[in-house]
Amino acid sequence: MCGIVGILGHKAVAGDLVDALRRLEYRGYDSAGVATVENGHLERRRAEGKLKNLEARLHNEPLQGRAGIGHTRWATHGRPTENNAHPHMNERVSVVHNGIIENFGELKKALIAKGHRFETDTDTEVVVHLIADEMQKGCDAIEATRRTLASLRGAFALAIIFAGEDDLMIAARQGSPLAIGHGKGEMYLGSDAIALAPFTDEITYLEEGDWAVLRRKGAIIFDRSGKQVERVRTKSVATSLLVDKGNHRHFMAKEIHEQPEVISHTLANYLDLAEARVSMPDLGIDPAGIRQVSISACGTAYYAGLVGKYWLERYARIPVEIDIASEFRYREPPLPANGLALFISQSGETADTLATLRYCKSQKQRVASVVNVRTSTIARESDAVLPTLAGPEIGVASTKAFTCQLSVLACLTLALGRARGTISSAQEEELVHALAEVPRHIATLLRNEPSYEKLAHDLAKAKDVLYLGRGSSYPLALEGALKLKEISYIHAEGYAAGELKHGPIALIDENVPVIVVAPEDDLFEKTLSNMQEVAARGGRIILVSDASPDRAGCELEAHVAMPKVHPFTSPLLYAVPVQLLAYHTAVFMGTDVDQPRNLAKSVTVE
């Protein structure tokens, strides 16, 4: 992990490599480096921490090579030190790598037995030694790389340059995304099109198992078997402008405030407001015949899927199974004929989700994906794509992508419910109008943002925070807890409110804030009884609800007032206060909100 760039250019490329890496900062990283071919030999500069440290190093020790590779690393093997930072190299070859080489231990042992000396704790370094070993036997750079790739197991994307080869770069993709950019007498390589947008909009995405030989005049692509293949060139829609924070302090704040707009865009893609109807892409399966929907996702996307389960079962009356992708893929559950497999991913490159998709395809399931990147691997391997229109999400903690995923799932629910006859035309019209009101309600909530700052000051003093919710508010409790712990580093847990008395209530005392997500729906009275159990044990209750605080029947530390909305759309609205609480708590504590420690935006390893 986590970002790769490469350039075969006509001038010194180090500066452009760093600029491209900056566009990949949203993925999260803990070190960075570049390497270039300098007068026939290889040179590199690396730095621990942020790109500004690498820039300072390059300012003092510039590189002039016209062929180079760069990398931002998120540690998987070895600590995030300069020594473990990419590129890894010896005098003959330099490599950057996303992913994991699963058999690196046995490869390393064999190489050490041959006399190779390793300088880092990473799995990537074995690639350098394997290629060098093959070259020592007399192979040229291309053949040495081909042989090396055949010996690797795992998920990886690789970019490789060689001493004495100013017009050669080799790329390989297995499990981790990689895109080739075509310029005028120049060639580019990147983890995604965003990195390459300033240089070109002509993109070729490598497919699974592909490897490519790049020269300034073009690229030759080979498939897993070694057969030369043609891959489609596409016009990238990635913006050539570097995304900035605007008037906001952090990308996360900007993205929270973009939600009214991006939800509007997403809903407009699926709703005919004039007719009050939903219009979805053809899934290629008869909705009336769907026996089961199997949802799989990771992290925040999993919680979106959990809301989708509540919606699909209640309104479309379809049985839904949902599992975390890393569990689903190894559980290998039996799947029914006429089943729909639904995958949710912001990046469309999440390794576990992609592996689960391939399992479902092997089980003859119809595959649909909810993704924010329409050119992603998950999108390309799906039978039907249901895009979100959130735009680039830079903050590692997902906000606008989550609510856009919910928007798509809500529209899918209505479309399937109508097709199956489980909701009437009048109900569809009612729910479409309710969805159309969501952006306005969220805009209203965001105008009250200052009120969250005081709550955040109190939350920042806590060591543990609990979130409670029932029904479709239960996933919001899970999401709220995830947001708080991933950016503020406060321990937080989300629970189904009814489960509290079966163990978690033992954690309650006067030092534990309990955030209760409780719209005034048909489950509200049940949630109130759980809230009173908390109050009886001295817990500090923050109620997020459209109900009057007088209805609580117990003392509240705070009441976050919510607008009255249809219960169907409440998850979309109630996502916002839990985002704001986490954001302002993290800001008050001084953590790195946009790039929290140990996390990456796009997780392309298991």
Q: Which residues participate in catalysis according to the annotation?
A: 2, 601
Q: Are 371 and 274 in contact (CB under 8 A)?
A: no
Core vs surface per residue 575-599: b (16+ CB within 10 A) or e: bbbbbbbbbbbbbbbebebbbbeeb
- Who contacts 16 (Cβ-Cβ below 8 Å, separation ≥6)? 7, 9, 198, 199
495: exposed, middle or buried (C-beta count within 10 Å: 0-12, 13-18, 19+)? buried
SS3 459: helix
Distance CA 384, CA 580 (A): 34
Q: How far is CA 451 from CA 414, 456, 476, in A?
A: 35, 9, 20
Query: How much is the CA Rg of the chain, to the nearest whole Å?
Result: 25
Planar angle of CA 349, 8, 380, nearest 5 degrees: 20
Distance CA 187, CA 132 (A): 24
Distance CA 103, CA 266 (A): 42
SS3 350: coil
Distance CA 287, CA 416 (A): 6
Question: How many other CB atoms are found less than 10 A from the CB of residue 516?
Answer: 26
- Closest listed residue to residue 403, CA positions, set 350, 353, 351, 344: 344
526: which strand partners?
Answer: none
Interhelix angle for 299-311 vs 474-488, to 10°? Answer: 170
- Closest listed residue to residue 475, CA positions, set 257, 264, 311: 311
Q: Are 65 and 8 in contact (CB under 8 A)?
A: no
First vs last Cα of the chain: how many Å apart? 11
Handedness of CA 69, 72, 78, 81 (dihedral sign): positive
**Exposure on the CB side of residue 299, measured as CA atoms within 13 A:** 23
- Across the beta sheet with 179-182, the strand order is 41-48, 31-38, 67-73, 2-8, 187-190, 179-182, 202-205, 233-235
Residue position matching structure tokens 């992609």: 354
Token output for 231 = 């891959």
- Who contacts 244 (Cβ-Cβ below 8 Å, separation ≥6)? none
- Who contacts 260 (Cβ-Cβ below 8 Å, separation ≥6)? 439, 440, 442, 443, 446
Phi, psi for residue 180 in degrees, rounded to 5: -100, 135
| Type of residue numbered 4 | I
Q: Are 461 and 598 in contact (CB under 8 A)?
A: no
581: which strand partners?
Answer: none
SS3 110: helix
Distance CA 97, CA 87 (A): 8
